[in-house]
Structure 1
Amino acid sequence: MSQFENRKLLVVGGTSGIGLETALMVAQQGGSVVIVGSQATKAEDARAQLERVATAGKMFALTADLHSAESVRTLIETLRNEHGDIDMLVNSAGIFYPVSFLEHTEKDYDAFLSINKAFFFITRHIAESLVEQGKPGSIVNVTATAAKQAIETVQATSYSMAKIGLEAMTKHVAMELAKDKIRVNAVAPAIVETRIFERFIPGDKLDDAMAEFHSLHPIGRNGTTEDVANTIVFLLSDKTSWVTGAVWDVDGGMMAGRMLAK
């Protein structure tokens, strides 16, 4: 029997990057998967990728604007009506672009922080459903090393506020739900090579910029989506049944290296 057969995963932010890679791994290992993205075409393309690798489960794609409370409520209602059997959740959606503290606008702040509100209430719905059914479950949030370590050249104030808030939510919810056999953990990646950097680094400079980031990691390279997804899948699985409330640095040694440097 495959590791995730007869289980169903919801990935919020599952149409690209770490979220999609996690969804692919679970699909390959027998699980059913529901991915949530902001664009219908992109979500359907991702669902088709999942279908190509799926070994047992069924694949679904939903869309929602995580910045809109109304859209999130509609998503939750769809999950309630059509996907009451979800027992795994990954909150992986996110945006990043550098903006200095003195130039921050309210729009910038809301762009980063409103995603946490969506995570909060989607997670509450999944947990409530599991408790009502008396089922165990596993939840993994994707935070960032930037939440714990400020770097002068990385302008990420509200982004880091959002990520450290997600880390706090991870620990508190883990304690509340432990009695219900619902585990809640998080991964904190350093620099992972995803398309998110294309938003603010010109295409002709992207390769050089990413090459410069390698040196920030003691292990000598940036992370890949597979590096992080492997750890997420491990935390979702029963192999980590005694792990809850943990925030694991998946960062090529960045946090350890910076702490030693101090």
Structure 2
Amino acid sequence: MTVGQFENRKLLVVGGTSGIGLEAARMVAEQGGSVVIVGNRVEKAEDARQQLSRVAGEGKVFALTADLHSAESVRSLMGKLGDEHDDIDMLVNTAGIFYPVSFLDHTEDDYDAFLSINRAFFFITQQITKSLMRRDKPGSIVNVTATAAKQAIETVPASSYSMAKIGLEAMTKHVAMELAKNGIRVNAVAPAIVETRIFERFIPGEELDSAMQEFHSLHPIGRNGTTEEVAETIVFLLSDKTSWVTGAVWDVDGGMMAGRMLAK
């Protein structure tokens, strides 16, 4: 039996019950790692746990739930992590919401919905790194930002969403500098448009296919990305294969940041 590169390692994925996070968790599980996934709905988290357990085996996948917008709920999550999973040495922060809201129509609730997730990421990351330092262990952290943080698109209003993502990018670089001496690497990936179910939440069903087709042309490579493609990069950054990479933000975007094409 081949020993996977993540054997005897444990990954926490905040936002690991669907999309990019679930794919990253699956890839780590396939390569021998244990996985803790965090979602916001009990039923969805348990379904994801069962999916991953079929890959990793029973006893190696754990599911927790939390409302990342609630400081009290995040504190409760952190308590469970400290009590039950103090051996985590890898972290992926990928939870998020997205819906287009014009700058002039933004409400305080909209703003808080986007920005409050960063608060959860900040303090969960802090707890995991304190645990690593207490145990004198190296670790790897990957945050998921977005090209929207650096490239505005007129037809996709995303002012506070982008504020949150560029803030996460800044956190990545600053925390990487502080923790490098402890052997804890902190990086980020910045996807462009990835085909996930998030678009179903604000694009009417009868318009979804045509909208996704239009998005293809925003990428010089000619198509939208997949969750698997982004997850592959995340898992690469988690691994020892990138042991000399920290403080990096990698664009996983079909070439969008190199030169965005005009929609046809």
Q: TM-score, normalised by structure 2?
A: 0.97
* Secondary structure in structure 2 of the residue aligned to 1:256: coil
Paired residue for 2:8?
6
- What pairs with 1:85-104 in structure 2 (closer than 5 Å)? 85-104=87-106
Paired residue for 1:44?
46
Deviations 1:45-92 (A, max 9, x none): 000000111169700000000000000000000000000000000000
1:202 aligns with 2:204: yes
Cα distance in structure 2, aligned partners of 1:135 and 1:32: 17
Matching residue's letter, 2:94:
S
User: Larger deviation: 48-57 or 81-90?
Assistant: 48-57
* Secondary structure in structure 2 of the residue aligned to 1:185: strand
1:32 aligns with 2:39: no
1:221 aligns with 2:226: no
Cα distance in structure 1, aligned partners of 2:182 and 2:235: 21
Matching residue's letter, 1:231:
T
Matching residue's letter, 2:252:
V
Structure 1 counterpart of 2:80, from 78, 81, 87: 78
Matching residue's letter, 1:47:
R
List runs of 5+ in structure 2 lacking aligned partners: none
- Indicate conservation of the 8 Å contact 1:234/1:240, yes or no: yes
Cα distance in structure 2, aligned partners of 1:38 and 1:209: 28
More helix by percentage: 1
Matching residue's letter, 2:175:
V
List runs of 5+ in structure 1 lacking aligned partners: none
Cα distance in structure 1, aligned partners of 2:176 and 2:58: 30
Paired residue for 2:108?
106
Cα distance in structure 1, aligned partners of 2:170 and 2:237: 18
- What pairs with 1:25-174 in structure 2 (closer than 5 Å)? 25-54=27-56, 58-174=60-176
Cα distance in structure 2, aligned partners of 1:56 and 1:38: 22
- Indicate conservation of the 8 Å contact 2:49/2:63, yes or no: yes
- Indicate conservation of the 8 Å contact 2:220/2:260, yes or no: no
The CA deviation at 1:205 is 1.0
- Indicate conservation of the 8 Å contact 1:30/1:57, yes or no: no
Closer, same or farther in 2 for the Cα pair 1:56/1:253, shift >3 Å?
farther
Cα distance in structure 1, aligned partners of 2:101 and 2:196: 19
Paired residue for 2:18?
16
Closer, same or farther in 2 for the Cα pair 1:57/1:182, shift >3 Å?
farther
Cα distance in structure 2, aligned partners of 1:56 and 1:148: 41
Cα distance in structure 1, aligned partners of 2:177 and 2:260: 29
Cα distance in structure 2, aligned partners of 1:221 and 1:131: 42
* Secondary structure in structure 2 of the residue aligned to 1:216: coil
CA RMSD of aligned residues (A): 1.1
Matching residue's letter, 2:191:
P
User: Larger deviation: 57-66 or 99-108?
Assistant: 57-66
The CA deviation at 1:258 is 3.0
Paired residue for 1:248?
250
- Indicate conservation of the 8 Å contact 2:218/2:260, yes or no: no
User: Larger deviation: 198-207 or 181-190?
Assistant: 198-207
Deviations 1:119-165 (A, max 9, x none): 00000000000000000000000000000111111100000000000
Q: TM-score, normalised by structure 1?
A: 0.97
Paired residue for 2:181?
179
Count of residues paired in the alignment: 259
Deviations 1:197-252 (A, max 9, x none): 00100111111110110000011110000010000000000000000000000000
Cα distance in structure 2, aligned partners of 1:151 and 1:11: 29
- Indicate conservation of the 8 Å contact 1:31/1:57, yes or no: no
* Secondary structure in structure 2 of the residue aligned to 1:36: strand
- Indicate conservation of the 8 Å contact 2:219/2:260, yes or no: no
